Amino acid sequence: MQITFLGTSSGVPTRSRNVSSVALRLPQRAELWLFDCGEGTQHQILRSDLKISQLSRIFITHLHGDHIFGLMGLLASCGLAGNVDRIDIYGPPGLNEYIQSASKYSHTHFSYPIKVHAIRPGVVYEDQEFTVTCGQLHHRITAFGYRVAEKDRAGRFDVEKAKALQIPAGRIYGQLKRGETVTLEDGRVINGAELCGPTEIGRKIAYCTDTIYTEGAVELAKDADVLIHEATFAHQDAEMAFQRLHSTTTMAAQTALAGGSHRLIMTHFSPRYAPGNPIELKDLLQEARAIFPKTDMAYDFMTYDVPRRREVELKEVPVS
């Protein structure tokens, strides 16, 4: 699971930061999922090493322009390129009407099926490997955060060990792989769990924007390997955050802390903190780290490979 930030500015793009979009690459199934689609997202994808042809799902948090103005252009280009099978789009009520109207008045016809799912809190998508849920955020209009949870997988079955124990291959292997206890024809009782490696814990990613501090985001951030959270404002501009229902760095960090997240990546920064201003983005980072040390700031085209929990634990053992 690899995250690529395609836009990290709030409201308007700047020279170095486009408006909101985050790509999630699932290399094991050659799929690309997108979270939000601000204007220019398709250009950002073209400048990255992501493949538009792999795009299969788009999750929209809310209907503000800086999160959806890139949608029509991207969907139209996917049709012209002609190499997309089908796209499922998830978002708040009204998203379908927006797409229908835009395609009607611009005479855009899609050469591939598009299905728009109006979401409400709970599970929005599930398959054998992943569960995607959404939760209510607190913003000026209806907004949802998302949580992508990879399912836990049974540890790897040790075929060599099974062979050494002279367990006959076939259906029994399947039962043992699932960790079941099996009685063989010769009377031996074999516990499958002993032939399997440790369970692979599924990774969890939470995406919360746009919102002021809210329990809904804390819920999505629970035990997340990585929480992507908006931090539009510096702590000293909290009053603006309350007025516009956005987060400060402090709120993003407190969400990560309260949710027991393992890492926080902040995004959706106000262009006001450009270099040369009394408060700069590096100050925002310090504010968040004071509360939640494992915080980073996203920048356009930043990628992050979400490590498996065991890998993380092994890496974090202090070297004595």
Instruction: In whole angstroms, give the CA distance from residue 268 to residue 302.
Output: 14
Check whether 268 is labelled as a binding-site residue. yes
Q: By CB under 5 A, is residue 39 in contact with Zn ion?
A: no
In the complex, least distance from residue 16 CB atom to Zn ion, rounded to whole angstroms:
17
Whichever of 54 and 61 has its CB closer to Zn ion, that residue is 61
Give yes or no for a contact between 285 and 297, defined as CB atoms under 8 angstroms apart.
Answer: yes
64 scored as a contact of Zn ion (CB under 5 A): yes
Q: Smallest distance, Å, CB 247 to Zn ion?
A: 11
Q: Assess 300 for contact with Zn ion (CB under 5 A).
A: no
246 counts as binding Zn ion under rule CB under 5 A:
no
Distances (CA, A) of 39 to 44, 64, 66, 223: 10, 11, 7, 32
Whether 127 sits among the annotated catalytic residues: the reply is no
Q: Which residue stretches of the chain are H helix?
A: 41-47, 65-68, 71-81, 95-105, 159-164, 171-177, 215-220, 238-244, 249-259, 281-291, 309-315
Does residue 64 have a known ligand-binding role? yes
Q: Which stretch binds Zn ion (CB under 5 A): 26-34, 63-71, 94-102, 153-161?
A: 63-71
Of 51, 216, 68, 92, nearest to 147 (Cα)? Answer: 216
- Please indicate if the annotation marks 210 as binding a ligand: yes
Active-site position among 36, 66, 225, 237: 66
- Our CB check for Zn ion shows the closer of 25 and 67 to be 67
Nearer to Zn ion, 212 or 306 (CB): 212
Q: Is 66 in the site for Zn ion (CB under 5 A)?
A: yes
Instruction: Give me the least distance between CB of 267 and Zn ion, in Å please.
Output: 10
- If the CB atoms of residues 177 and 246 are measured against Zn ion, the closer one turns out to be 246
Q: How far is CA 35 from CA 87, 208, 259, 283, 289, in A?
A: 13, 10, 21, 27, 25
Task: Return the percent helix, strand and coil in the chain, to nearest 5.
Answer: 30, 25, 40
- 139 known member of a binding site: yes
What does the DSSP assignment read for 257-290?
HHHT-S-EEEE-B-GGG-TTSSS-HHHHHHHHHH
Look at the block and give the residue holding tokens 């890139």: 70
Residues 175-214 that bind Zn ion (CB under 5 A): 210
Nearest CA among 271, 304, 286 for reference residue 5: 304
Task: Quote the least distance from Cβ 70 to Zn ion, whole Å.
Answer: 13
Known binding residue 67? Answer is yes
Residue 17 or 64 with smaller CB distance to Zn ion: 64
In the sheet where 264-267 sits, what is the strand order? 122-126, 130-136, 144-150, 204-208, 226-230, 264-267, 295-297
Alpha helices in 115-226 (DSSP H): 159-164, 171-177, 215-220
From 61-69, 161-169, 199-207, 309-317, span contacting Zn ion (CB under 5 A):
61-69
Q: Say if residues 281 and 267 touch (Cβ distance below 8 Å).
A: no
The residue range among 23-31, 64-72, 75-83, 116-124 that interacts with Zn ion, by the rule CB under 5 A, is: 64-72
Q: Count residues contacting Zn ion (CB under 5 A)?
A: 3
Q: Please say which residue, 64 or 235, places its beta carbon nearer to Zn ion.
A: 64
- Contact positions toward Zn ion, by CB under 5 A? 64, 66, 210
Q: Please state the residue numbers annotated as binding site for Zn(2+).
A: 62, 64, 66-67, 139, 210, 268
Q: Please state the residue numbers annotated as binding site.
A: 62, 64, 66-67, 139, 210, 268
Active centre residues (catalytic): 66
